Amino acid sequence: MGAIYIDPSLKRATINDDECVECYSCFNGLSQEHLNPTMVRTIRKLLSLARIRFDPEPDVCPTAAFEPNELAWPRVVRRAFSDPRVPHESTGVEGRGTEEVKTNDVTGRVQLGEAGFTIEFGRPGVGVRFREIQEMCWALAQAKVAFEKKNPVTSLMSDLSTGTLREDILGEKVLSAIVEIKVPVERVEEVIRLVWDVEKRIRTVVTLGVGVRCESDGEDHVVAPILERLGYKLERAKTNTGMGRVSRVVEQPKKDLVSA
Amino acid sequence: MTNTLHRFGDAASFRDDYVVFAIAAKGKNDQGSLEGLRKFLKIAVEYKPVNLGDARHGGALRPSRSLNPLNHWRRDVSLDFQAVIDGLDHPTTCAAVFDNRPAAEDFVKRIKEEDLGLSVNISTSIDGAEQCCHHACIPRHSVGYSLGFEGATEKLPNSQVLMLSTMCGHGMISHSLAKKMIDFVKEGRRTPKDAAATLMRFCSCGVFNPSRAERIIEDARKKTT
C-alpha cells in the first residue's frame, strides 16, 4: 500500500491512516529485536553524519515499534478484508471469500451447466474502496445476477436486490474484496462483458476467476471454449481432484435403549 | 480465499510451482478433520516440499518475535516443517508446495490412496494439474480458472515484481519489498536465496515458493523487464 513513510518534520516513521488497509503485514511479518529506541536512533544519527549506512536485514523492526490499533466500526471492516489471519464472522473462513470450487466435490456449489464467478477488486496490492465495489454490485444486480449468500461482501449489503452496500463503509479502503456470483453457462459471456464495462469506470484492478464442474471424463468442454473465444489465454487454474466427501454421521445408540 | 490461483506468469513459469492443498468444507466434513489435515502435512514431508503451511499460522519459515541482533550476520533460513505440523490446532487450509512435477504427482497419488476424505486441490498450470490427476488416475472434479488482472493495470509493477509478490495471494508481500529484494540482489547485497527467504517470511499461509522466487530473482539480476 505504501502507507508507511518517514515524515520529514517529525523524522519518524508515520502511517497514513487513510491509505492503511489494516492488513497487519507490518506487525505480523516483521521480525522484532526489542532494542532501545534511543540507542537505535543515536547509532543511526552518528552513522549518517559519517555518511555510513548500516545494512540490516530488511524485514526486522529493531525496536518492535509496531502495535496493533484498537479498531472500531467501520474501520474494523478494513482488517476483516485485509488480514487473512482474521476469519470473517460471516463465513468462518480465513480470507476474503468463501470455499468456492475448492470444496465443490463436497458442497456441490457449482453444478454442471453453471459457472461460479469470483470478481476480486484491489488485488494484487492496489487496494479498493467499497464505493468502487458498489459500482460492480449495482451493475450485477441490475442484470438480475444472484450473489453468493455466504460471501463477506454480500453480508455488507443493505439491499440485496439492488446490490447496495451499507452507507457507512463506502469510504473504507481494503486490500481486496471478492464478489461471488453463480450463473448458468449461457450467461458467462454476458457477465464478462458487464465486468469489462464496469472496470472502465473504477480506479482499481479487477481479477476474475471462473469455477466450473467438470464432466465425468474430467474435462470442461463448455466454459473454457467461451473464455478462449473472449480472448483469454487460460494458463493457470485451481483443480479440485474430487477426493472430498461428506462425513458420515454415525448415530450413537441412545443410552436408555442400550440399557433396556 | 483464492490465495494460490492468481499467481502472475505464463504456463511455463509454473514449471517449478505446484501447490497442493487440503481443505475441509465447513459444516460438511470439518468435524474431526484435524487429524486428516495433519496426516496430509506429514505425508507431504516425505515428498520433499519447498514449503509447507497452514492458513492460520504460516509457512515453514516464519518471522521471529525476539531476534538476536547477531542475526543480521547469521540469519537462520532453514525450513521447519515439524513446527507447521505441530502448530496445526484448528481445521484450516493446509498446503504443500513442490518445485518439481514428479514429486507433486507422487504426492497426489499417495493422498488418493490414503483416502483422507478432504477436498484436495492442485494449483499450478492447467496442464501441470491435469498431469498430476492423470498420474493418480483421477478425473478432475472442478476447475477454477484464473483470467488474470484487468482494469487499472497501470497501477501494477513490472512482471518480475508481480511474479514475486503474487506468490502470496493475500497480498502480504508488498510490491515495494519484492522490488527492494531484486535491487538488493542486483547490487550484490543479498543472494537470491536470502532475498527469497525474506519474502517468504511475510506469507501468512505457507504457499510461497522459494525455489521459483530464487529463479525469478536470478533472472531479474540480469534482465530489466
Closest Cβ opposite residue B2 in set A56, A118, A206:
A118
- Whether residues A210 and B144 touch (CB distance < 8 A) is answered with yes
Using the Cβ of A105 and the Cβ atoms of chain B, whether some distance falls under 8 Å is answered with: yes
Taking only residues 67 to 86 of chain A, the set having a beta carbon closer than 8 angstroms to any beta carbon of chain B reads 82, 84-85
Using the Cβ of A97 and the Cβ atoms of chain B, whether some distance falls under 8 Å is answered with: yes
- Break chain A into its structural domains and give their ranges: 88-229
Predicted confidence pLDDT, tens digits, chain B (225 residues): 457 999 999 999 999 999 999 999 988 999 999 999 999 999 999 999 999 999 989 999 999 999 988 888 889 899 999 999 999 999 999 999 999 999 999 999 999 999 999 999 999 999 999 999 999 999 999 999 999 999 999 999 999 999 999 999 888 999 999 999 999 999 999 999 999 999 999 999 899 999 999 999 999 998 876
- Whether residues B68 and A33 touch (CB distance < 8 A) is answered with yes
C-alpha distances (whole Å) from A154 to each of A6, A101, A131, A179 are 38, 18, 14, 7
- Whether residues A100 and B2 touch (CB distance < 8 A) is answered with yes
Closest Cβ opposite residue B118 in set A124, A217, A244:
A244
* pLDDT tens figures, B122-149: 999 999 999 999 999 999 999 999 999 9
The per-residue DSSP string of A160-215 comes to: TTTTEEPGGGTT-EES-EEEEEEEEGGGHHHHHHHHHHHHTTSSSEEEEEEEEE--
- Whether residues B67 and A60 touch (CB distance < 8 A) is answered with yes
Give CA–CA dist A205/B162, Å, rounded: 13
- Whether residues B67 and A33 touch (CB distance < 8 A) is answered with yes
- Whether residues B144 and A176 touch (CB distance < 8 A) is answered with no
- HSE at residue A185, side-chain half, CA atoms within 13 A, is 17
10 Å Cβ neighbour count for B19?
Answer: 29
Identify the CA nearest to A156 among candidates A183, A124, A130. Answer: A130
Taking only residues 167 to 186 of chain B, the set having a beta carbon closer than 8 angstroms to any beta carbon of chain A reads 169-172, 174-177, 180-181, 184
- Per CATH, the number for A88-229 is 3.90.1170
The answer to whether A165 and A136 have CB atoms below 8 angstroms apart is no
Closest Cβ opposite residue A94 in set B1, B120, B136:
B1
Is pTM, for the whole model, over 0.90? yes
